[in-house]
Each structure stands twice: as structure tokens, then as C-alpha cells.
Chains A and B, each alone.
Chain A
Amino acid sequence: MAKMGGSVNARKKFVIGSFVIIATLVVLAYVGYTQSKTYYHTISEVSAMHGAILQQRMRVSGNVKDGSIQHVDGHIQFMLEEEGRTMPVVYTGTDPLPDTFKDGAQALVEGHLASNGHFQAEQIQAKCASKYQATPPGVAPAPSQTMANPAPVGSGS
């Protein structure tokens, strides 16, 4: 910042004030970070994981394996497949799945890994693999299901 000699006292107060503000914001940022961090992983990374890392919230992408979508106990289950590896996914979210979610679609699942090795997906984004590869810029695909809990600005939670 520009030089501020002037009153040494005023300058000192300003520096202290700034420090307090910045420190508060850093703490808040850290809290927000731990609450919302989400790891991107590939299926092979997920299958190699063990221990505490399984608690991570993560996003995994792949294709929906043909013929794998089934309804079990009121939940949708399917196999996500990438580079020959597969991972079972259970959808635990409440939103209806996007219409683009079907056999062979590209899917991005967000959630965490359960102890039985099933991925518990709270959110699923899907994009029809063949038909619409290049969505025009500035556009979101099938919206309500795809947003990661988009809390509006300033929700004073």
C-alpha cells in the first residue's frame, strides 16, 4: 500500500486494524474451506484408497456402464466406469436425476465412499456422451440437479 508516514500513531492503528481484519477473514476462510472442500478423484485412485481419506467429500467422473442402472430399495444403483475400472454407485440424493442420465452417459458423481465400497452420491451430473459434446459457452447443463448445493450469496448461515 502507498506510503503513509504522517502520524505514526495513525499508521500504527491502521496496521493493527488491518491485521485484525485479515486474521478474522483468514480464520473464516479456513472454516469455509474445511466445510466445503471436495476432492476430484479418478476411479483407480478411489479404489486404491483406505483409512481416513475415505471421509473426504469427492467428485468422481466416468461413464454409466451399459445396462447397470437398477432400482434397489428405493434407490438408484449403477456402475461408473472409467478406463476399464468400475465403481458401484448408490444415489442417495433427493432430486430426480437429470434426463441425460442413462446408459453410456458421462456422469460426475459427488459424495463420499461408504465402508462397503459403494460410493454414496448425493449429487449426480450427467451429460449425454454422444450427442451434445460442445455446449455453447456460458451455459449450464441440466440445472437443478447439477449444482453443488448452490447456496446464494450472503445466506447468513
Chain B
Amino acid sequence: MDIFGSFALLLALVAAVYAFVAGIAGIITRRPLLIKSARNAGMAVCVLVALAVATLEYFLQTDNFSLAYVAAHSNTALPWYYKLAALWSGQEGSLLWWTFLLSIYVFFALFLNRKRHPELMPYVGVILAGVQIFFLTLNNFIESPFRILGAADGTGVMHMARIAEGSGLNPLLQYPEMVIHPPMLYSGYTGFTIPFAFALAALLGRYPGEKWIHITRRWTMVAWTFQTIGILLGAHWAYAVLGWGGYWSWDPVENASLLPWITATAFLHSVMMQEKRGMMKVWNVWLVFSTFMLCILGTMLTRTGLVSSVHALAESNIGGWFYSFLGIILAVCIVAWYKNRDYLRSDNQLDSLVSRESSFLFNNLILLAACFAVLWGTLFPIFSEWITGNKISVGAPFFDKVNVPIALFLIFLTGVGPLLAWRKTSLDGLRRNFAWPAAVGVASGIAAYIFGFRNFYALICLILSVFVTLTIFSEFYRGARVISARDHTDIFTSARELTMRNTRRYGGYIVHFGMIVIFIGIMGSAFNKDVERQMHVGDTMTIGPYSLLVQNYDEDTNANYDAQRATMEVFRDGKSVMMLYPERRTYSASQVTETIVAVESSPLRDLYVVYSGISPDTNQPVIHAYLNPLVKWIWFGGVIVVLGTGLAMLPNRRTGIVLRPVETRISEPISPEGAVAPAMAPITHRASLNE
């Protein structure tokens, strides 16, 4: 049976190589049959990899411990859904999973466009096949998930070994989120391959027109959504399972997932400059290229343990492969750009500092600065070792110092940018749009200061958040009012109508609002409190408005783990409000310690209680309690962001309004009715993925 899986993988590699070679031959000879067969081969890769994945999963589900991978990452007692998760919990499996998700994307990219863009698609197919060849080579020859346990005897004959029980899945991974977090994050990572392929293909083939930029944008949005979900689920998992009271520690693996997200976000903004004003073409192409390269870099960081991470990664020797692959991609990108740089000449130029264009430029500048700072900090141990011979790492203060002001500036741009007119905004327009949201924002800042809210950054964040939220809602309100006056509908129906008529614009506002909610949640961390104490039974600790009384400690020992558990009663204003049961387990098979955090979550604050262990000095249990304000807003904001993105990807509802040509409106300041007419900006492409 294992032969079946490895054979499918080998055939997938053959198919990818064929798609690559036949694709190039097809581009040169322009023979339609050759191009078609290359495309079919590219689609076949997906089927073959799916067979390999199904085989591995079958082995996991049927506890076939003759396979090294199954023996190392599963055991009989594991429930089926964690056996499913075991598929991507180890090195070989997760690389196979990467290949699989990529091949699904490739399948759809090729299939949906089989009748379109005949000049562009052959190039796309070749580039995608090239990426697949790299990963399939790793899957087949370097990190094969189908290695069987066995040893050669004295005569060189292999003997299969089958062990009775596997070593099981790391208990830290046995958490519901771990079943969906990796597929989401990987769907993000792999998804950025598609926009990369389209951008590079358009450049190589000098594909006329701007169509490719719309396609690239749509696919980037898909991958971006998955990446967003993946990052937030990862943060939530860290918060709920790792038990250190936080959700983000600027660990290399976390940073790796953030980097392509930042550049993709920058691209999703600056792409509008290209669509509407024909500017920033070189910049956009390089953003797409960088996003993809950062995905590969992130995969490399995660898979090779290049930078030591608390996410203790299997050290492996595949680093060289990734370095070479990154080198090849970079070389191809530079050559493609250099030879075709005239193709990317800009049509327009910056007219005014107070314009939509310049807000996008600043947005990109600041996002790229964030990306660079995070990348630099992550790779600093490597750079410093190369340059000075000393390995130096930087910690959270470095990342916070740089990224907090960047985040605040981004919030500011979020409020201002969308309401600035293209080319040049008049002072009058500025005043009309921003006067009262800014006034209310500052007023709430002053009010907060009076009530004892003294943290500088948090205060700025509050003012900006109020300001931005108000500008977003007033946009909805002004647009909806015009519709409701005309159609005699109530304001909420009108707002929905408004949104559906220009999903991209209003979906975008919703995404912005969700980001504000997330930032408010992050701002809450400025007010985190924590208390750590040794506690006897009957002791009380006070944190914020709560008092925690230890009622009892007990222990539980079973075959799987030893647990120590505290029973704590929580009082507020002298009244008993709830019971919490923080626990600490040590799994006997793996010697892994797991913290079972007791969290009481409310929109205002989380009470987060950890059984830290036994004090080495006094043999007393130590309880660590955290009071984390507003954490829930982060998860809630994430949901809004994802919904908004989904909305922005829907096609616009057709309206009876006669669309006015774009050019006539471009230099006008924003007017209330401008929000209604979808023609205000040429964002009415009924673009869909298969465009």
C-alpha cells in the first residue's frame, strides 16, 4: 500500500515536469495541442497528490505503524480528527500538505481559465509547474512521508519492522484549533503562488492591458483571507493553550506568517493605484514577487529551524534546497523585470501630497517598513553571526517599539485615505469629511484622560479608533441616506443596498472597521496585569476587581498523563461569581507538559488563570493570574475582517443608475452622492476569480 502512495507522488512529479517542459515547448511552438496537454498535466498533478494524501491519511486512520511517519505522529487511541491533524503535524506530512494545497490552487487556476487568456495561461502553467516541481522533489526524495520502518540485516536485505504502538501526537497539538489552523495558514502561504504566477507570466509574456492585475488582485484576496484566519487562529491557540497569558510573542515562526500578510496587504492597497491611475506598476509587481518569496522564506523558517524558535522545530537538512529555490526565484524575477521594465512604465504621476495617491504611498511605505523591521529582527541572529561572529537575538521590545507607531499611523491612514479624492483634495473637502469625527475622537481622548487613562500610545489609539470608526459609519450613513431618500426605504435597508452595489468599496470599509476592532483589542494589552504567587489552600489573591480563593488542590494520574489541578473560587465585590479549574498535565509518553488554562472571558476583560507548577524552594503550588483587557475584541475583529473580505469579493449588484465616466469625476472632491454612484471610482469591475 505504501508503494501506492509513493508511486502517486512520483507520478505527480513526472506530470509536473511534463507540464513544465511541454508548456515551454508550447509557448515556443505555439501549438495548441501541446499547450492543452501541458495544462492537463498540471491539473493531473492535483489528482495524483490527492491520492498520495489520501493514502497517508488511510495509514494514519488504520494505525499502520510500519510507516515511520505514522509511528512518529499518531497512536491507536487518538480520535479520528486528531489522526487527520497528524497528517500535517510532522515535517514530511506538512510538506506534503503544502504540495497538496498548492496543487488544488493550481488545479482551479488552470481549470477556471481554460478558455480564457490564451496568451497568458501557458506562462502561468509553466511557472506553477516550476514551483510544484520543487516541492514534489522534496516530497519524493528528501522528506518522503512514505518511508517504512525497517533495517537492513547483515546481508543487506531490508526487513520491515512494525511496531505495536505509535508515539502519538504532541499533546499541545491536541486542541481543536490545531485541526483547522494549519490548513488555513497553509492555504494562505500556498495561495500566494497564484498571484505570483500571474504577475510573472504577464511580465514574461508582456501581456497587454491591465486584466492580469485584476486577476492577481482577486487571488491575492483569497490567499490573504486564509492567511488572516490562519494567523488569528494561531494567536488564539497560543493564547488558549500555551499558558503564558499572551497571544503573540514575536517568535520567528509567528513573524514568518506575518511577513507575507503585510506585503499582500500593501499590494491590495497599491493595486488600486495601478487600476485607477496606471501608477506603481513596478512596485506592484515586486510586492507580488516579495509576497511569494516571503511565503517560501516562511516555510523555510518553519520547516528547517534556521532561526531557533520556541516552536521547537525539527532541525533538518532541507535548508539548502530552500536557499537554492529562493535564489532561483529571485534571479528569475530580477531578469524578468529587467528585460521587461519598459512594459511597466507608469502612466501618471503624483500630483498632490493631500490625495488618495499619496495616502496609498504612505500606506505602502509604512507597511513595508513594518515588514522590513519584522524580517530584520527575525533574521538578526543570522545576520549578526555573519557580520560580527556573535549571534545576537532581539526580543519583543524591538518589535514593539517599531511596530506600535506604525500601527497607529496605519489606523490614521485607514480613516483618512479612503475619503481623500484622487489627485488632489481641497481643504473644503477635508473639513467637510473629517471635522466632526476628528473632534469627537479628540473629545473622547480628553474624556479618557480625565478618567485616568494615561498610557500615551493607548490614548492615541483610542482617539484614532474613534475617529476612524466615525468616518467609516458616516460614509455608510451618507450613502444610505441618499438611497433611502430616493427609494423611500429605511436607512438599514438602504445601507445594505449601498453595500451590495459596491461591494469592493463597502466591503473594504468593513475590513477596515474589523482591523480597528482588532487594534483596540491589542491596545488592551497596555493595561495587562498579572500576579504570580505561591498559594496554600485557603489563600486569596487579588487582581483587578477579582479575588481568587484556593479551595482545593488535587491530583489525577492516569495512563496518559499526570495532572495537578487547583479549584479556585472567584469573588467580585464580595460575591462569589464563578469557579475556575486551572490544571497542569505532564504526559507520560512524551514528557510534554501542558497547561490547561482557566479563562473567564468577557468583552471587557479576560481573567486568565494558570497553574504554573510547584515552587522548587517551598514545594508550594504557584498560581499565575492574568487580567487581560479587551482580548476578545481581537477574535471578534478577526471575524469582521473575514466577513468584510468575503463581501468585497462578491460581484456588485446591478443598479439602474447610469454610470458616469470615471475621468470626469476624478479630480472632484468627495460629495455625499459620490458615495452612491458606483462610478465614483472605477471599481465596478465585476471581476471574478476566473476572469
Residues of A within 8 A of B (CB): 1-7, 10-11, 13-14, 17-18, 21-22, 24-25, 28-29, 31-33, 35-40, 59, 71, 74-76, 91, 94-100, 125, 127-128, 131-132, 134-144, 146-157
CB-CB contacts of B303-324 with A at 8 A, as 1s and 0s?
1000000111110000000000
Contact between A137 and B392 (Cβ–Cβ < 8 Å)?
Answer: no
Q: Does B434 contact A (CB under 8 A)?
A: no
List the A residue with the shortest CB-CB distance to B349.
A6
List the A residue with the shortest CB-CB distance to B302.
A137
Q: Cα distance A131–B591 when bound, in Å?
A: 7
> Which residues of chain B come closer than 8 Å to A154, judged between CB atoms?
400, 403-404, 407, 457, 461, 519, 522-523, 525-526
Which chain B residues in 318-359 approach chain A with CB under 8 Å? 346, 348-353, 355, 358
Contact between B402 and A25 (Cβ–Cβ < 8 Å)?
Answer: yes
Contact between B613 and A97 (Cβ–Cβ < 8 Å)?
Answer: yes
Min CB gap A125→B, angstroms: 8
Contact between A155 and B525 (Cβ–Cβ < 8 Å)?
Answer: yes
> Which residues of chain B come closer than 8 Å to A17, judged between CB atoms?
353, 362
Q: Cα distance A3–B347 when bound, in Å?
A: 9
> Which residues of chain B come closer than 8 Å to A134, judged between CB atoms?
72, 314
Contact between A14 and B361 (Cβ–Cβ < 8 Å)?
Answer: yes
Q: Cα distance A29–B283 when bound, in Å?
A: 25
Contact between B519 and A40 (Cβ–Cβ < 8 Å)?
Answer: no
Q: Does B593 contact A (CB under 8 A)?
A: yes
- Whether A33 touches B310, Cβ cut-off 8 Å, given contacts A71-B617, A156-B523, is no
Most B C-beta atoms less than 10 A away, residue of A22, A36, A74: A36
> Which residues of chain B come closer than 8 Å to A131, judged between CB atoms?
590-591
> Which residues of chain A come closer than 8 Å to B282, judged between CB atoms?
2
Min CB gap B626→A, angstroms: 10
Min CB gap B561→A, angstroms: 11
Most B C-beta atoms less than 10 A away, residue of A11, A94, A139: A139
List the B residue with the shortest CB-CB distance to A143.
B242
> Which residues of chain B come closer than 8 Å to A74, judged between CB atoms?
617
Contact between A143 and B591 (Cβ–Cβ < 8 Å)?
Answer: no
Which chain B residues in 95-118 approach chain A with CB under 8 Å? none
Contact between A32 and B170 (Cβ–Cβ < 8 Å)?
Answer: no
- Whether A37 touches B392, Cβ cut-off 8 Å, given contacts A136-B173, A141-B310, A156-B456, is yes
Contact between B361 and A139 (Cβ–Cβ < 8 Å)?
Answer: no
- Whether A139 touches B173, Cβ cut-off 8 Å, given contacts A75-B617, A154-B523, is yes
Min CB gap A141→B, angstroms: 5
- Whether A155 touches B346, Cβ cut-off 8 Å, given contacts A39-B392, A40-B391, A137-B89, is no
Q: Does B397 contact A (CB under 8 A)?
A: yes
Contact of A139 among B170, B395, B523, B615 (CB under 8 A): B170
> Which residues of chain A come closer than 8 Å to B612, judged between CB atoms?
95-96, 144
A-B contact pairs, 28 of them (CB 8 A): A2-B282, A6-B348, A10-B351, A11-B350, A14-B353, A18-B365, A25-B402, A32-B394, A35-B398, A38-B394, A40-B391, A76-B616, A95-B624, A99-B593, A134-B72, A137-B311, A139-B172, A139-B312, A140-B238, A144-B244, A151-B246, A151-B249, A152-B246, A154-B404, A154-B525, A154-B526, A156-B404, A156-B523
Q: Does B381 contact A (CB under 8 A)?
A: yes
Min CB gap B516→A, angstroms: 13
Q: Cα distance A149–B251 when bound, in Å?
A: 11
Q: A137-B94, A141-B310 are in contact. List 5 more A-B contacts (CB 8 A).
A: A1-B283, A10-B352, A95-B624, A149-B396, A156-B455
> Which residues of chain B come closer than 8 Å to A96, judged between CB atoms?
612-616, 622
> Which residues of chain B come closer than 8 Å to A33, judged between CB atoms?
394, 398
List the B residue with the shortest CB-CB distance to A61.
B308
Q: Does B595 contact A (CB under 8 A)?
A: yes
Contact between B350 and A7 (Cβ–Cβ < 8 Å)?
Answer: yes
